[in-house]
Structure 1
Amino acid sequence: MWAHPLRFPFTHWVPRCWAYLLSGALLGPLLLVVLAVLLVLGAGLSVVGVGLPVLLALALAGIPTATVTRWRLRLVEPVPLPDPHRGLPGAGRRARVRTRLRERATWRELAHAVLASTVLAAASLGFTALLVFSVLYVLSPLVVWALAPETVMLIPGHAVPGPLAALPFSAAGLAGLLLCAYGGALLTAAEVALARLLLGPREDDLGRQVLELTRSRARLADAFEAERRRIERDLHDGAQQQLVVLSMTLGLAEYELRAQEGRAAELVTRARGEARQALEQLRALVRGIHPQVLTDHGLAAAVAEVALRHPIPVTADIELPQRLHPAVETTAYFTVTEALTNAAKHSGATAITVHGRVAGGRLVVQVTDDGRGGADPAAGAGLAGLADRVALLRGRLMVTSPTGGPTTLRLEVPCSGW
């Protein structure tokens, strides 16, 4: 309208704006009746203690109203207005109601419903009346001609004797239609701006959702860590101790059968060796779940221990000012061990360097080998799972591995753990 004011009344936007305002004139009074009935019933029934469900329906009435408004906005707004509410797949009815009542968007939608049923409805009704009278005045010569020879009163106290006498009213009707074209566009623009203000998503809504997702990730990480500790404890205090007792019992049996002839002593010796091997495998499994040195002495000591046992010479240079969050240390440890394992299996490297520092509130660990390169994180080397684990802590895992090497794995994760 501002770019081409003279051409605007003849564009398709004018009937779109009129349709939007006419729909508001129809829905506004109906919405006012619904809100008034819910308010009266809720307030009246609250006296006998059963008005809470009605008041609850009143509080949530803005949600379906906003949905209808967003559908109406498609008449004049090419960009759809997003729904500010969070998706709740699988949630029950009570959970949905509690969540919606805690969302600020619900109360903004209720405020818009109140405005749509009062102020906006009155404006739409006024526009509708102006549009109807303008159309009637434009058609007044036809009306006078159709009713002739009877006298037509287009204005109270002023009779129009014939079609020619109605031409000034027709000109006034055309002016009214022109006013409806511009005025309807301005009124529609104001209502669209108000709808975007009250019905669209806001930064604070997104911030609350991000905060809730962050807390959810932290709870998930804590639950994983608690389950890991429980499994480790069960293996250490249960199966591992039973294998130790079994090995000791087999040792006593071997001592008692040593003086006897036959294969019994040989079989007991063999069983004791297998029990000892099973015990070593179980201890290795426990260390793989979570090494005790990581719990007792931290990330630097745990990486140093892994470096001593690695088949490729590893230079570990990790300096941390203090102990970090357990989830951060665990994630960094398994990232390093996975990188060392991949280097030993696939890279053909002769030397590996592990460097770790804290910078800007983030733990930065970098593992570099001098192998052949060409590593692909999507090839099933275990890095995809590590990336998901790092993302759980809002961190980043980057792999650089050009053909011919070197391969560098870089981990960045907040020291706070979320």
Structure 2
Amino acid sequence: MSRPESAWSALRGNPVRFLLSSWPWRSLAYLAGTAAVGFALLGVLLALLMAGALTAVLVVGFVLIGAIPVLCVAVLGLERRRLRVVQPGAPALGAPRPPVADGRGLRAWVRQRRGEPPSGREAGYVVLLVTLLWLLDAVVVFNAVLLTGAFVLAPLVAAADQVVVFAWTVESFGEALPMALVGGPIAYALSAYVVTLLAAGQSALARLLLSPGENELEQRIGQLRRSRLDLVDAFETERKRIERHLHDGVQQRLVALSMTLGRAELDVPEGPGLDLVRQAHGEVEAALADLREAVRGIHPRVLVDHGLAAAVREVADRMPIPVTVRIDVPRLPPPVEGAAYFVASEALTNVARHSGAGSAQVTGWLHDDRLVVTVTDDGAGGARIGGGSGSGLAGLVTRLDALGGTLSVRSPDGGPTEVRMECPRCVS
């Protein structure tokens, strides 16, 4: 039989198995921890409030009072981790706050958390913790331990003094032994169920209040989307830098070398020397052609200067099969145009290499404020993203996802194949 995932599921199981398991002790530890944390937090909060009020005239008072939200955030993090004591099999609570971005250490953590105060539900849990929960848990834990201990230890205590438990009075070891053997298990079972029931209910309440709310999740999603867009922008910036370096630096040097070798061909007399110069000239021309192809693959200049339609037509003109381009869209943000261009370029490259198609077509339009680009061919079909004929497209899926876009391939065996991307025309 599988182990229960939480205190609730343990309570619903076999009573004997439950009483002999670790769940009563887990629940007792959880409630004792809540009492200790709540009592300590209450003391610290009162101390900070009193010290802040007494030193309100000074800046120190505001610093002390301003430390209260940061302290609460730290305690809330501890409470989320403590849920694993009575909910080890339940999904971990999502972190409502992003990780510390400015470095490690207490100072960096405090600096970031000062701008991330507790939410309304978190503040409600803190109020419950310092006013009701810690006191309730302390009373329950104390009485559960006292009741069970009074019965179990009755024979030892009775040997030295009289023992009175409810209406049961014993004065010797022999009289107390039946009390321990009968009352001990009953007291333990009663205490175990009360403690576990309270721990289960309290942990469910904590999970409800400490789980990230919809607004918090939306903020996290927005932050994640912005960070991914920043990565895309940084990627585009680096592409442009590399392209500019190759175009204005390496390519110009190769052009100058090609011109020098061309002049040398006119001055060197016929013979082995001239043959070597001509061979070197041809190698430089081939290197220039490869470099221009690499530059176009990194960040085509025509895309920056003339837009998506002109850039895709340039790719289509280099294809070994006829490619029709019908793209009628205005200028779009550079990340969107870049993603659309590389999808079209990679799809056309796959058509030429793998599909055996006789023709292809690239179409682009705007629909409901989204850019839609499709690449279709009449080839053999069977293409898949991430497969041998679509591995280059797999890398573009993440890039489009960062922009809020999608990429899909419809390619039944026997064709035709359609690669379709959709992306918001504006990203933010």
The TM-score, its normalising length taken from structure 2, stands at 0.72
Alignment map for 1:11-410 (pairs within 5 Å): 21=31, 23-37=33-47, 58-70=68-80, 73=83, 79=90, 82-84=93-95, 85-87=97-99, 91-93=103-105, 94-105=107-118, 109=122, 112-125=125-138, 191-192=202-203, 194-255=205-266, 257=267, 261-263=269-271, 264-320=273-329, 322-376=330-384, 377-379=386-388, 381-410=391-420
Verify the 8 A CA contact 1:366 1:410 in the aligned structure 2: yes
C-alpha separation in 2, matches of 1:122 and 1:210? 38
Give the CA deviation at 1:51. 7.9
Deviations 1:57-85 (A, max 9, x none): 65433345335534654566674561434
Question: SS where residue 415 of structure 2 aligns?
Answer: coil
**Counterpart residue identity of residue 112, structure 1:** Y
**Counterpart residue identity of residue 273, structure 1:** G
Verify the 8 A CA contact 1:369 1:408 in the aligned structure 2: yes
Q: Structure 2, unaligned stretches of length 5 or more?
A: 1-7, 9-14, 170-187
Give the CA deviation at 1:262. 4.1
Give the CA deviation at 1:251. 3.1
C-alpha separation in 2, matches of 1:345 and 1:132? 76
C-alpha separation in 2, matches of 1:273 and 1:37? 83
Verify the 8 A CA contact 2:261 2:281 in the aligned structure 1: yes
Number of residue pairs matched? 403
Q: 1:413 aligns with which of 399, 402, 423?
A: 423
Cα gap change, 1:38/1:107 in structure 2, threshold over 3 Å: closer, same or farther? farther
Question: SS where residue 254 of structure 2 aligns?
Answer: helix
Cα gap change, 1:135/1:289 in structure 2, threshold over 3 Å: closer, same or farther? closer
Deviations 1:131-178 (A, max 9, x none): 799989999xx9xx9999x9x9999xxxx9xxxxxxxxxxxxxxxx9x
Verify the 8 A CA contact 2:93 2:207 in the aligned structure 1: no
C-alpha separation in 2, matches of 1:16 and 1:97? 32
Cα gap change, 1:43/1:253 in structure 2, threshold over 3 Å: closer, same or farther? farther
C-alpha separation in 2, matches of 1:395 and 1:111? 39
Verify the 8 A CA contact 1:62 1:106 in the aligned structure 2: no
C-alpha separation in 1, matches of 2:364 and 2:146? 79
Verify the 8 A CA contact 2:69 2:118 in the aligned structure 1: no
Question: SS where residue 118 of structure 1 aligns?
Answer: helix
Cα gap change, 1:25/1:388 in structure 2, threshold over 3 Å: closer, same or farther? closer
C-alpha separation in 2, matches of 1:277 and 1:340? 24
Give the CA deviation at 1:41. 6.0
Give the CA deviation at 1:388. 2.6
C-alpha separation in 2, matches of 1:114 and 1:59? 12
Verify the 8 A CA contact 2:327 2:365 in the aligned structure 1: yes
C-alpha separation in 1, matches of 2:281 and 2:149? 106
C-alpha separation in 1, matches of 2:94 and 2:64? 25
C-alpha separation in 2, matches of 1:400 and 1:50? 66
Question: SS where residue 102 of structure 1 aligns?
Answer: coil
C-alpha separation in 2, matches of 1:134 and 1:328? 70
Question: SS where residue 246 of structure 1 aligns?
Answer: helix
C-alpha separation in 2, matches of 1:113 and 1:188? 17
Question: SS where residue 381 of structure 2 aligns?
Answer: coil
Question: SS where residue 423 of structure 2 aligns?
Answer: strand
Deviations 1:315-363 (A, max 9, x none): 222222x211111111111111111111111111111121221112221
C-alpha separation in 2, matches of 1:71 and 1:42? 30
Structure whose CA Rg is larger = 1
The TM-score, its normalising length taken from structure 1, stands at 0.74
Cα gap change, 1:290/1:131 in structure 2, threshold over 3 Å: closer, same or farther? closer
C-alpha separation in 1, matches of 2:149 and 2:257? 103
Verify the 8 A CA contact 2:258 2:284 in the aligned structure 1: yes
Q: Structure 1, unaligned stretches of length 5 or more?
A: 2-7, 161-176
| Percent pairwise identity | 46
Verify the 8 A CA contact 1:372 1:403 in the aligned structure 2: yes
Verify the 8 A CA contact 1:395 1:414 in the aligned structure 2: yes
C-alpha separation in 1, matches of 2:298 and 2:91? 49
Verify the 8 A CA contact 1:62 1:107 in the aligned structure 2: no
Give the CA deviation at 1:252. 3.1
Verify the 8 A CA contact 2:31 2:137 in the aligned structure 1: yes
Verify the 8 A CA contact 2:26 2:86 in the aligned structure 1: yes
Cα gap change, 1:325/1:356 in structure 2, threshold over 3 Å: closer, same or farther? same
Deviations 1:95-150 (A, max 9, x none): 433333333448865663454123333444565688799989999xx9xx9999x9
Question: SS where residue 373 of structure 1 aligns?
Answer: coil
